[in-house]
Amino acid sequence: MSRHWEDRLWRGATRTAVTVPLIGLAFVIVILVVKAWPAIQVNGPGYLSRSTWQIGNLYGGVSHVHGIEIPQGANYGAWPLIAGTLQSSVIALIVALPLSIGTALALTERMPRWIAQPLGFFVEILAAIPSVVIGLWGGLVLGPFLSAHVYPLVANHVPNVPVLNYFRGYVGQGEGLLTSGLILGFMIVPIIAATTRDLFMQVPSLPKEGAEALGFTEAEVARRITIPWVRSGIIGATILGFGRALGETMAIAMVSGSIQGHLANNIYGTMTTIAATIVTQLDSSFTDATGFALANLAEAGLILAVISILVNFGARTIVTRTSRYRAPLGRA
């Protein structure tokens, strides 16, 4: 091994740099736990199931719970935030996955290269539109349009049976669960579609041509050859998009209605998510001199962090497992 100072500098500097994400992540988790600790002690496990968000009387007395000072009447429960986060992200996924696969197929299978390439690039760069700009459009244009022209049509014609009755009732002003889910879906489509398109382009043409020679139609080739060939990659990209939807903040803060205390009454109802609550409540939590409001936001943030880490590891496990069992030739 050479002992030149430059070689040692490269090794030392790169070794230091590569530990930054690990140290940063550990630091973030530790700070969250430390800040959330008072809230965890006071709230107990009921925090996960209660539907209330009372900051308490900031001008009244201070009560002591387990030796921790909290404003009188303060009572927090994060169930509506957790449920709202999961509901809106699941809606996003239901919307985004078929659209992404359809888009990827349209871009790869029969379209001439000179249209498919710029269109594909366009879909890719949609992922970079700032969340606030999407929120601006969602809040001022899409939400009001849908609630005036589309939601009433659905709400008035859906039969009153279980599951579908969730689509009935008051459609609101355009701020709510369905608008949030659609906006999130719009935001994660580029992530899933761009990856899926790249995967489809890696599928070798021999098996596809073979299937066509056996008399498969284009639809059957897609369903039986192309999509199964890259299934694990699509699942991975989908879960990545799901994780992105869970943590999305600004757009949801702008189109959800930001209601902390209860779940959406129907699919159009106002709601909020963990991330949107943190961004909209951080300002007002400074006014709580006991710091309890801030601690509750830390606990909510901790829950979000745990969910997103679980989703990430879930994605890794699914991708390695599915790719281990079905590994056709030629797949990277």
Partner 1 sequence: MAIIDDVGRGTGWRRKKALGFRALTYVSLIFVVGPALLLMFNVASQAIPHWSWSVLTTVPLGNGGGLENAILGTLVIMLGVLLLGGTTGVLAGIFLAEFVSVNSKGKERGGILRASIDVLAGFPSIVLGYVGYVALAVGLHWGFSLLGALIVLSLMVVPYITKATETALRQVPTNYREGAEALGMRMGYGLRKVTLRTALPGIVTGLLLAESITVGETAPLLYTAGISNGLPNWQLIHQPIGYLTYYVWTDWNQPFPSLHYLSYDASLILLVMIFTLLIGSRLLVTRSQRHSESGH
Residue 147, exposed/middle/buried by CB under 10 A (0-12, 13-18, 19+)? buried
Q: How is residue 37 written in tokens? A: 């600790």
Distance CA 268, CA 146 (A): 10
* 148 touches partner 1 by CB under 8 A: no
Backbone φ and ψ for 218, nearest 5 degrees, come out as -60, -40
| Strand, coil or helix: 63 | strand
Binding characters for partner 1, 173-192, by CB under 8 A (x = yes): -------------x--xx--
Among 42, 78, 107, 293, binds partner 1 (CB under 8 A): 107
Nearer CB in complex with partner 1: 7/73: 7
The dihedral built from the CA positions of residue 130, 178, 85 and 275, taken in this order, carries a sign that is positive
* 279 touches partner 1 by CB under 8 A: yes
- Judge whether 104 and 197 are in contact, CB under 8 Å: yes
Distance CA 178, CA 147 (A): 10
Smallest distance, Å, CB 214 to partner 1? 9
- Judge whether 51 and 83 are in contact, CB under 8 Å: no
Stretch that binds partner 1, among 46-54, 60-68, 154-162, 273-281 (CB under 8 A): 273-281
Q: Contacts with partner 1: how many residues (CB under 8 A)?
A: 94
* 102 touches partner 1 by CB under 8 A: yes
* 146 touches partner 1 by CB under 8 A: no
Pick out residues in 40-99 that bind partner 1 (CB under 8 A).
98-99
* 312 touches partner 1 by CB under 8 A: yes
Among 42, 78, 230, 278, binds partner 1 (CB under 8 A): 278
- Judge whether 267 and 177 are in contact, CB under 8 Å: yes
Nearer CB in complex with partner 1: 133/206: 133
- Judge whether 108 and 296 are in contact, CB under 8 Å: no
Among 48, 94, 141, 289, binds partner 1 (CB under 8 A): 141
* 125 touches partner 1 by CB under 8 A: yes
Among 48, 94, 133, 153, binds partner 1 (CB under 8 A): 133
* 137 touches partner 1 by CB under 8 A: yes
Nearer CB in complex with partner 1: 91/134: 134
Among 78, 171, 184, 221, binds partner 1 (CB under 8 A): 221
Residue 162 neighbours by CB under 8 Å, 6+ apart = none
Stretch that binds partner 1, among 49-57, 149-157, 244-252, 320-328 (CB under 8 A): 244-252
Distance CA 71, CA 288 (A): 8
* Residues making up the chain, counted from first to last: 332
Nearer CB in complex with partner 1: 264/302: 302
The helix (H) or strand (E) run that includes residue 73 is: none
* 162 touches partner 1 by CB under 8 A: no
* 309 touches partner 1 by CB under 8 A: yes
Q: What DSSP line would sit under 270-309, residue for residue?
A: -B--HHHHHHHHHHHHTT-TTSHHHHHHHHHHHHHHHHHH
